[in-house]
Each structure stands twice: as structure tokens, then as C-alpha cells.
Amino acid sequence: MAVVHEIIAVAPNTPVTDVASVKGAIVAAIDSAWFVGGHPLAGASTSGPEGALPGLFDGRPWVTCPRQRANGASRAAVSALIDICGAREVIMSADEHDRGVAVTSHAVQVVASAIAAQWGQLPGAAVEARGRAFDEILRLAGSDPLLWQEILSANSGAVSHVLLQLADTLTEVADSLTSGDASTAARLIADGNEAAQQ
């Protein structure tokens, strides 16, 4: 956030954007017509230059959260950058973004890390009983914990809400399975299936 303020101070009439994973605080703090908050949803578990891959942004959503006072030139410049990278722009408010990524990214990271920790406690050859889907979970679990501490702290309210709802759902499923009844789990899987078809 400090870097954005410095850029605006040095070049006040220059379009500026950011790529932070949480938008609420930075969009509220940067009161400039030349700033458009952004978040490309195309990352990998590897950060820095090592995470740069050909086609990384191709077809991926790149959220922008322009404030009402953002001018046309700044919005056009950020849109052009997104187009050059091969991504597709998705415009929404900072609050919508933060509530969305709490479900699609931040809670997913916490759950993936929790499952990977369970996997790490399996005995012997049991760790090899995994399919491709679990390899993706392990990829997520390999993320930088200090980076994720910052992200989760910045979006703590939205993420905690999602995790508490998820905990309630999983408790219902676990209680049902404890009694030998898988119908609650089946309903959850059916609900997830329906959502995935949308």
C-alpha cells in the first residue's frame, strides 16, 4: 500500500494498479482517481520469478475494483494491461471481491493445508494412496505460510465466516456418518454437484 502511495506522489497523473489478494483495505485507503485496484487470479504455489510461466494469465479472471472517482484513462490503461496479458477483466466492488475469494481461494487454502497435514500423519505406504485431485491439494499446501498469514489477516472476517459455516456442515456430515448414515453426505455432494454445473 505504501508503494502505491509513493508512485502516486511521484507521478500523480499516471495510471496505477496493484495485484494484492485482498482489496477492501487498499481500495479504501488509496483515494486517487488514477488508482484501480486489481487482482489477477492466476497464481501458482511458487512465488516470485520462479512462478512465472508462459500463458500464466491466459483466459484467467483478473478482477478490477475501480472506485467511482477512478477516471476513464486509468480504467482504460488497466483494462489494456489485462488484455495484453491474455486475461479477462471482471469488474466488481472490493467487498464483493473479498467475500468471493474468501470462498474460492482463502478458505480453500486453509482446508487444503489441513487435509495435507492429516495426510502427513498417515502410516507407511498409506501416503501413496492418492489420486490427481489430491496432488492439487498438496500443491496448494506447499504455499508460503508467511504470505498466507498476511492474506488471511487482511480478510479475516470474511474467511472466518466461511470456515465457521463449513465447520457446521462438516460436523453434520461427520455426526451422520458416525451413526452409519451417509445420506447427509450424499445431499452435500448433490448440492456441490448442482453448484458445479452452474
Q: What is the pLDDT of residue 38?
A: 98
| The CATH classification of domain 2-92, taken from the options 3.40.50.150, 3.20.20.70, 3.40.50.720, 3.90.1110.10 | 3.40.50.720
Where, residue-wise, is CATH 1.10.3660.10 in the chain? Answer: 97-196
Fold (CATH) for 97-196: 6-phosphogluconate dehydrogenase C-terminal fold (1.10.3660)
In this predicted model, what pLDDT tens digit does every residue of 2-49 receive, in sequence order?
A: 888 898 889 889 999 999 999 999 999 998 999 999 999 997 667 778
pLDDT(52) > 90: no
pTM for this entry: 0.91
Q: Is the pLDDT of residue 95 over 70?
A: yes
Tell me the residue type at 141: A
Residue 100 scores a pLDDT above 70: yes
pLDDT confidence tier of residue 1, bands split at 50, 70 and 90: confident
Predicted confidence at residue 48, as pLDDT, reads 75
DSSP assignment of the chain, as one string? -HHHHHHHHHSTTS-EE---S--HHHHHH---TTEEEEEE----SS-GGGG--TTTTTT-EEEEEE-TT--HHHHHHHHHHHHHTT-EEEE--HHHHHHHHIIIIIHHHHHHHHHHHHHTT--GGGGG---HHHHHHHHHHTS-HHHHHHHHHHTHHHHHHHHHHHHHHHHHHHHHHHTT--HHHHHHHHHHHHHHT-
Query: Above 80 in pLDDT, residue 75?
Result: yes
